[in-house]
Structure 1
Amino acid sequence: MFPGLPTASLTLTHLFSAPFHFSVPGYQRPYSWTTAEAGQLLEDVLGAAGLGQTGAEEPDYFLGTILLLDGTGGDLPKPKSREREPRFFEIIDGQQRLVTLAMLAGVLRDLGTERWLWGSRNRLDYLIAADAAAVKQLGRKYRIEVSAREQSFLETYAQTRGGSLTAPTIEVLSEAEERLLKVRDHFVRELSSLDEADRRRLTDYLCDQCHFVVVLTRDIDRAHRLFTVLNERGRALQRNDILKAELLKSIPEDRAAAALDKWDSAAGLLGANFETFFSHVFAIYGRGDTKIIAGVRRTIREVGGAEAFLNQVVEPLSKAYHTVLSAADVNLSIDPEARRYLVYLGRLPEGDWAPAAILAVHQYADDPKRATMLLKEIDRLVHLLRMLCLGAGKRARRLANAVQLIKAHAALRPGDGPFALTREEVRNISYHLRSMYRRDAQVCKQLLLRLNDELTRSATILDPKDYSVEHVLPQRPGATSEWRRWFADGEEREICTESLGNLVAVTQKQNDRARNQEFYRKREIYRGMDDDPPVLAITRDVVECNVWRAGDIRAREAKLLALMREIWGIDIAAMQGHGTRSDVA
């Protein structure tokens, strides 16, 4: 693929050790990954390490190809090279992955509790820190350096020991810094849900079994051409094409046309979601396969062959999945209550909840009352698990238990079995709600939109991407603002700022306009201009206030917590004040 260019397959340990040191050239764009890309990377590595739903470790995990530029004319250092003189490479392609992995290493290191002199923490720190020779010769402190301003932020809040657990004190962050912070905090949340042994296991897998193909070029023009090739988005052969061929090869010729019609009908019904559909099928069958083709082969064998797979799995479940995806379509014939819960669920990432919803819709098509009860319980559980700030793997395991009980026609009742929350879990939700935006901005937005629906007693058809969370009392009010007079006590101001009662859902444009404005100005912005959508119910009560003091925030918080008790049957208000930072983990 790269004739005449030095190429090597290197593990993360080899790449992040002597003599390699990396920099991002000034012409590169700033850090641009969001929690979607970084979260997917982490989820994939966790799954490969056997820490996902299947628990089966893969022998290795390929992190992709990266392109480095070395203008000195040297060769690419080999694995376990004895070369110790530092070498400095520019990252032409792979910046987002390498910086993200450096942050991931920093978070894993800082969450560790073992002593520094040995073990995983020390190993991770060696990956992050520059070699002594690089520090002495050029003052380089870390193995990866980005642009000047981003580097200062990355050093302080990710690369420095303990930095990834430190809250920024900077009042105004650049877009790149915002992204770095959100990705870092996402890693902290996800990895905090693992125990120490699993984090050490992840560390070892990440260091020893995750590898890159590294390509070295010595010419900037050729580097640019290669970058274009590496980022070309041609249409590759889809796995669905391979699956179809796999399925049809075992069906007798006289029945192949009918089988193909069923396959194409399901593919046409689901469109771009057809491949995702198979991941949900595996979850329903208790497999959770990360390898789709191998998973299909196994499921075909288990259900009795290709035709049985088409008739008993693909055809009925694809129709159920289409119902799940299309619930907001008023032309779809479906029970109104079931539609409401599917619309709520449809605003969330579907990876964990979709299998349970698909099975409930399919299995109880002739019993809409029970299907609706199950969808209500799934909606409740999924929202509460997110407020518990559980990692993706733990959420998937909890929902996999629900899937298997639904599949077994278990006599589940509301709040039974996997749908039940312990008192400790409710207590932890109560604790997280004190600063839900800071813990997970996306979950916070999803909660506000869900509460908005309950205030209107309907399922509002809206796209969460169109809205953002706004702090009425700003996070960083100006030194001479009215906010400082209304909230003179700094500790009370911080508590009120992060309170659920202080948060509203507005468009991103309104959020950008509101920022640190005084309250009277914020109210006008929330009301909206001619081209803004109508004010959401979750925001309207704030618009109707004349002032915004601590008492107003507490009263609104109490109202929203009472609404959560009404929706989900958990008494958060009773828990408020019972937990402290020391007794709630």
Structure 2
Amino acid sequence: MSGKGEIKSEKILIKDIFSHMWFRIPEYQRPYVWGADEVVELLDDLTYAMMEKPDSEYFLGSFVFQAKAANPAMGQAFDENDLLDGQQRMTTLLLLFAVIRDLADDPDAKDDCQKCIYQKSSKYKNIPERTRLVYAIRDSAQAFIENYIKTTGGTAKEADLTKCGEKDEDLSAQNMAKAVLRLRKFFQENPAHKPEELLQFLLNRVLLIYVSTEDLDDAFRLFTILNDRGIPLRNSDILKSLNLGALTTSAEKAKYARLWEEAEGELGEDFDRFLNHVRTVLVKEKARLNLLQEYEDKIYDPKERDKATGQRKPVLLRKGRETFELIERYLSHYRTLLGGQNYDETGQSFAFDNLVKVMQTGLPATDWMPPLLRYYNKFGYSNLLVFLQKLDNKFSADWIGQYAPTDRIEAMNRVLKVIDDAASEQDVFNSGCFDIDRDAFVRVLDGPVYGRRFAKYILLKLDYLYQNHDQRMHFETLSVEHVLPQNPDGASQWVKDFTPSEREEWVNRLGNLVLITRRKNTSQGRMDYLDKKKRYFDKCIDTCPNSLRVLRTYDRWTPAELLQNHRVVLNAVLKHYGV
């Protein structure tokens, strides 16, 4: 336990965290928000490390907490820690222990998992029952832990968990239920990964770094530093030092130090992301390590061996001038491609810049950026808009079609490899690397889309398709709005025009959704169509081409108009995606 005012930091194995430490999710923390993407990403990284480096330690990240000593006078009987940073990962690990417990055949594995989840009481040893993670003020989240995580067999109640994931009023409980189902599905889909084997690796080889203090202000300050400055910049600063040290003249060191620092100042937090993009251009595989280790172990001095030849993979880049020149070149590409000034070079049109803005705003990740950088580096502006449209369609279709993050990343890496091997742009376009799963794409888009993560993006894409690209697209605050409201007034025209079953079937479909450029107004959103069109929509869709088209085309909104518009927008999207 750290003393008052003392800041303590150490690395610690998972087994020691979940056998000796107790955590409270304080009132000011946000809910548990990890989705399927983050859960699968964690499992993929853990199982990859287990298979490839089973005898090596695997660093899973860091967490920050305020250590709080027991204070019976304040109702706190035991030492505990307020978790400031690391809630999402710690909660997911707790859920993982419960899933392994319920899937494992070995009784010892089940017992060890249960001990990681909670401490059983003993009146003879004067030991109280304690759950490893307690959620302050979130009774539903804590009830979920009690019912499904703490209770043996709780994660096997898939029907109850599905219902909880869809209907529980507490967001944390909803997302925990979905995470448990996704964890179970992972093991079902990957029978080679035995729960007991992952448990042994997780407990004995996986570690985190913790930073703690008893002072709340210090704890918040540490949280801010580690998330906004310290951890992201530490790896890139060391990377800079390694490369400066490989230079031979003071003039070169001054030149490239200035280049690096200007890029840091210009890009801020995005600088590390940019360095990772350059890494991906070179390595063409998913990053498994931190930024510094990726450059050291995959680029400068590869440790892996080629599976076909058994030989160590070749050096991809040398430290010093070669690295700085590559970064300088790709930094120039990055500024150009994202700078919004490509009108003259892309056919006297803002279509390229507008699509980049749509992708930056609506897509869930920037894994599409390395292929764009590599294409521009090799082919310049030649057919650049065509390439970007195909790249966007592939990445977004895989996302909408519910492909896992790892699959989406691998698809982008295939595009990189195709570019490397291509003699011309047409070789890239004809390679098949942009093919999409048409059935999955159509099935998802033709169903309820409101509330899905991609809903805003696909509406932005419709705006892009209807945009006059002689002009830049302008959007800042965007909200998804229903034309037919979700909960119309009982005396409204909506209730007369739509039966309850028609409302249930169509209210969340693509044809009933538009974008507005301000926050939603629930009271105005329930008005009848003509009033809503005049008093609400006219004031907040001025920069949304698809929304403007809807209001200019339809003077009424009945099932016939909704169906017609749904066919129009669905066909526009499918045509753009080549379906």
Give the shorter-chain TM-score range: 0.7 to 0.9
Residues 495 and 226 of structure 1, relative CA distance in 2, 3 Å threshold: same
For residues 317 and 133 of structure 1, the distance between their equivalents in structure 2, rounded to whole angstroms, comes to 59
Aligned to 2:557: 548
Q: Quick one: which of 260, 282, 286 aligns to 1:285?
A: 282
The share of aligned pairs that are identical, in percent, is 15
For residues 547 and 123 of structure 1, the distance between their equivalents in structure 2, rounded to whole angstroms, comes to 63
- Cα deviation for residue 29 of structure 1 reads 1.6
Residues 511 and 132 of structure 1, relative CA distance in 2, 3 Å threshold: farther
- Cα deviation for residue 567 of structure 1 reads 0.9
Map 1:459-478 onto structure 2 (within 5 A): 461=472, 466-476=477-487
Is the 1:284–1:359 contact (alpha carbons within 8 Å) kept by the matching residues of 2? yes
Amino acid paired to 2:48 = G
Aligned to 1:69: 68
Is the 1:286–1:404 contact (alpha carbons within 8 Å) kept by the matching residues of 2? no
Q: Secondary structure at the match of 2:279?
A: helix
Aligned to 1:165: 162
- Cα deviation for residue 276 of structure 1 reads 1.7
- Pair 1:353-2:368 in alignment: yes
Residues 242 and 212 of structure 1, relative CA distance in 2, 3 Å threshold: closer
- Pair 1:309-2:323 in alignment: yes
Aligned to 1:569: 578
Amino acid paired to 2:519 = K
Q: Secondary structure at the match of 1:389?
A: coil
Q: Secondary structure at the match of 1:469?
A: strand
Is the 2:104–2:110 contact (alpha carbons within 8 Å) kept by the matching residues of 1? yes
Residues 228-267 of structure 1: per-residue CA shift (max 9 Å, x gap): 4533538546433322221121222266257527844872
Aligned to 1:260: 256
Residues 523 and 88 of structure 1, relative CA distance in 2, 3 Å threshold: farther
Is the 2:346–2:385 contact (alpha carbons within 8 Å) kept by the matching residues of 1? no
- Pair 1:275-2:275 in alignment: no
For residues 516 and 400 of structure 1, the distance between their equivalents in structure 2, rounded to whole angstroms, comes to 46
For residues 62 and 405 of structure 2, the distance between their equivalents in structure 1, rounded to whole angstroms, comes to 20
Aligned to 1:231: 223
Is the 2:474–2:543 contact (alpha carbons within 8 Å) kept by the matching residues of 1? no
Residues 121-178 of structure 1: per-residue CA shift (max 9 Å, x gap): 968984796555499x99988953331555378569985644543256769x5xxx45
Aligned to 2:247: 251
Amino acid paired to 2:441 = I
Q: Secondary structure at the match of 2:283?
A: coil
Is the 1:10–1:212 contact (alpha carbons within 8 Å) kept by the matching residues of 2? yes
- Pair 1:241-2:237 in alignment: yes
* TM superposition score normalised by structure 2: 0.74
Residues 384-430 of structure 1: per-residue CA shift (max 9 Å, x gap): 11111222211101110110110222553536322123xxx211122
Amino acid paired to 2:256 = L
Residues 204-241 of structure 1: per-residue CA shift (max 9 Å, x gap): 66565544566888xxxx55355345335385464333
Residues 100 and 543 of structure 1, relative CA distance in 2, 3 Å threshold: farther
Residues 140 and 2 of structure 1, relative CA distance in 2, 3 Å threshold: closer
- Pair 1:527-2:537 in alignment: yes
For residues 409 and 258 of structure 2, the distance between their equivalents in structure 1, rounded to whole angstroms, comes to 30
Is the 1:472–1:502 contact (alpha carbons within 8 Å) kept by the matching residues of 2? yes
Map 1:411-426 onto structure 2 (within 5 A): 412-414=427-429, 416-421=431-436, 425-426=437-438
Is the 1:269–1:322 contact (alpha carbons within 8 Å) kept by the matching residues of 2? no
Q: Quick one: which of 411, 414, 419 aligns to 1:398?
A: 411
- Cα deviation for residue 523 of structure 1 reads 3.1
Is the 2:18–2:132 contact (alpha carbons within 8 Å) kept by the matching residues of 1? no
Map 1:131-280 onto structure 2 (within 5 A): 133=121, 143-151=133-141, 154=144, 161=155, 162=158, 163-166=160-163, 177-178=170-171, 181=174, 195-197=189-191, 200=195, 209-212=205-208, 222-231=214-223, 233=225, 236=230, 238-253=234-249, 256-257=252-253, 260=256, 263-264=259-260, 267=263, 271-272=267-268, 273-280=270-277
Could you tell me which runs of 5 or more consecutive residues in structure 2 were left unpaired when the two chains were aligned.
301-314
For residues 471 and 181 of structure 2, the distance between their equivalents in structure 1, rounded to whole angstroms, comes to 32
Residues 250 and 48 of structure 1, relative CA distance in 2, 3 Å threshold: farther
Could you tell me which runs of 5 or more consecutive residues in structure 1 were left unpaired when the two chains were aligned.
74-85, 571-585
Is the 2:40–2:404 contact (alpha carbons within 8 Å) kept by the matching residues of 1? no
- Cα deviation for residue 318 of structure 1 reads 1.5
- Cα deviation for residue 554 of structure 1 reads 2.4
RMSD: 4.8
Q: Quick one: which of 538, 557, 562 aligns to 2:566?
A: 557
Is the 1:355–1:403 contact (alpha carbons within 8 Å) kept by the matching residues of 2? yes
For residues 447 and 116 of structure 2, the distance between their equivalents in structure 1, rounded to whole angstroms, comes to 30
Residues 527-576 of structure 1: per-residue CA shift (max 9 Å, x gap): 244xx461512223443534433333322221112112321111xxxxxx
Aligned to 2:499: 488
Residues 149 and 522 of structure 1, relative CA distance in 2, 3 Å threshold: farther
Residues 452 and 324 of structure 1, relative CA distance in 2, 3 Å threshold: same
Is the 1:108–1:121 contact (alpha carbons within 8 Å) kept by the matching residues of 2? no
- Pair 1:501-2:500 in alignment: no
Residues 66 and 542 of structure 1, relative CA distance in 2, 3 Å threshold: same
Tell me which moved more, 352-361 or 465-474: 465-474
For residues 548 and 194 of structure 2, the distance between their equivalents in structure 1, rounded to whole angstroms, comes to 44
Q: Secondary structure at the match of 1:504?
A: strand
- Pair 1:433-2:445 in alignment: yes
Q: Secondary structure at the match of 1:166?
A: helix
For residues 548 and 204 of structure 1, the distance between their equivalents in structure 2, rounded to whole angstroms, comes to 60
Residues 343-367 of structure 1: per-residue CA shift (max 9 Å, x gap): 44333345310000001111112xx
Is the 2:299–2:317 contact (alpha carbons within 8 Å) kept by the matching residues of 1? yes
Q: Secondary structure at the match of 2:481?
A: strand
Is the 2:368–2:391 contact (alpha carbons within 8 Å) kept by the matching residues of 1? yes
- Cα deviation for residue 59 of structure 1 reads 2.2
Tell me which moved more, 534-543 or 519-528: 519-528
Aligned to 2:378: 363
For residues 10 and 415 of structure 1, the distance between their equivalents in structure 2, rounded to whole angstroms, comes to 50
For residues 11 and 32 of structure 1, the distance between their equivalents in structure 2, rounded to whole angstroms, comes to 25
Residues 77-114 of structure 1: per-residue CA shift (max 9 Å, x gap): xxxxxxxxx986554233x633664357548967x998
For residues 471 and 112 of structure 2, the distance between their equivalents in structure 1, rounded to whole angstroms, comes to 46
Q: Secondary structure at the match of 1:466?
A: coil
Is the 2:165–2:175 contact (alpha carbons within 8 Å) kept by the matching residues of 1? no
Residues 100 and 215 of structure 1, relative CA distance in 2, 3 Å threshold: closer
Is the 1:432–1:439 contact (alpha carbons within 8 Å) kept by the matching residues of 2? no
Is the 2:96–2:183 contact (alpha carbons within 8 Å) kept by the matching residues of 1? no
For residues 121 and 459 of structure 1, the distance between their equivalents in structure 2, rounded to whole angstroms, comes to 64
Is the 1:471–1:504 contact (alpha carbons within 8 Å) kept by the matching residues of 2? yes
Residues 341 and 24 of structure 1, relative CA distance in 2, 3 Å threshold: closer
Is the 1:452–1:537 contact (alpha carbons within 8 Å) kept by the matching residues of 2? yes
Q: Secondary structure at the match of 1:420?
A: coil
Residues 276-329 of structure 1: per-residue CA shift (max 9 Å, x gap): 222111111125443322333453553345222333x22222211112221x23
- Pair 1:29-2:46 in alignment: no
Map 1:510-521 onto structure 2 (within 5 A): 510=520, 512-514=522-524, 516=526, 518-521=528-531
- Cα deviation for residue 505 of structure 1 reads 1.4
Q: Secondary structure at the match of 1:449?
A: helix
